[in-house]
Structure 1
């Protein structure tokens, strides 16, 4: 069975992802900024929704938008987030850190993983897609040696569908070091099976969301939100597993 991870940034989306049968949730705030660390209240609400279901709850650890080159102070703050989510039984965490040369920041990653431990999984997120493509072999092995269990990647392209050929190369190395590859970005019911069939990955990542207009007076946060749809989750899973 192919597993589906759904990234969400609201309790409503958590609810629909679970009802649709998602195997795993990547819980974030601000998906408009590619996902930031969720609030404690959002996490606790998501825990209540996923309790006694098959859906695992992974938490994004990303203190701000922009690049993945963090200051020491930002890493220390992210460590505190990891401590909290570990002590409150998150099923996994998702993060990544790079240096100013777009190389993997091994020291920062090691610090966060040391706090998290290796009893539960950790995903290296799409910061991977900002590393040098010619260093796929070295970087996949480096991520595995640090203790991550999977890499979320679009194969260095804007979408996973466009990155299929690179995803094949990444997975070839990942298989040698027992690392899972999770294709993500632009995944939908029309391309999910193509991506899986072409790359031979066993998991895939998407948002399964639709745009919704909202009423607002000041438009401080915009007049549209995006919410996961149960039917989209169900459609992707059905297509993947038939």
Structure 2
């Protein structure tokens, strides 16, 4: 069973997502940019505005690009700088993840990031789910002093990863917080909580709305997505967050 006070964290994109999550009753937010890429480091302007309006703690993801978690020396240097900037700004925590090429936690880099972050809380994100051996990875994170790990049980969804989530929670034995994620919603979150006994749970509850732009240039796009996607906005759904939190707490 859970060894720490149960909490719900909502993954959001930007300042409007943070406000929606706290309005819906979240305990904490993971603040990101570009959730289409799994979450990237938000700008300092976003973080400063978040500090101004937040009524709950938020943790900032430190991820310089999408793709894998094997970073160049220059990328890692930017991660260290971002961690130090977040510490100086006074956010509640940071979210990190570094792997070696053979699918292990990069302990040297992880420990360096933890040391740079203190006294902030440090979460390892789903880089954990991309490791070759979750048992070994868990012990590595404990050695590095990481406070919590976000995991779907090394599967696409928490439902598929229930067995590994349960085992990870048991192996953690209170030494590190286990935070479950992976397509959690009001229909399945209670089942995952009851089956795994995890300490915390994390989800996004996103919905897409059409852009308010009525002029749309059909001849040019801004990136690698379809032009139609550039006229859609991804938002945190307050009602879905509220309903999912209620379902999770009812499972206690």
The reply on whether 1:182 has 2:187 as its aligned counterpart is no
Partner of 1:188: helix, strand, or coil?
Answer: coil
Q: 2:18 — aligned with what?
A: 14
Say if 2:87 and 2:120, in contact at 8 Å, map to a contact too: no
Q: 1:156 — aligned with what?
A: 154
Tell me the CA shift for residue 215 of structure 1: 4.3
Structure 1 stretches of 4+ moved >3 Å: none
The reply on whether 1:45 has 2:43 as its aligned counterpart is no
Distance 1:182 1:30 in 2: 21
Distance 1:233 1:210 in 2: 11
Distance 1:2 1:234 in 2: 16
Q: 1:125 — aligned with what?
A: 125
**Structure 1 segments unaligned to the other structure (5+ residues):** none
| Alignment of structure 1 residues 84-103 onto 2, 5 Å | 84-103=85-104
Say if 1:2 and 1:240, in contact at 8 Å, map to a contact too: no
Distance 2:66 2:206 in 1: 21
Tell me the CA shift for residue 58 of structure 1: 0.2
**Structure 2 segments unaligned to the other structure (5+ residues):** 223-228
Number of matched residues? 235
Say if 1:208 and 1:229, in contact at 8 Å, map to a contact too: yes
Larger Rg: 2
Partner of 2:230: helix, strand, or coil?
Answer: coil
Say if 2:165 and 2:198, in contact at 8 Å, map to a contact too: no
Tell me the CA shift for residue 79 of structure 1: 0.6
Of the three residues 199, 216, 227, the one matched with 1:202 is: 199
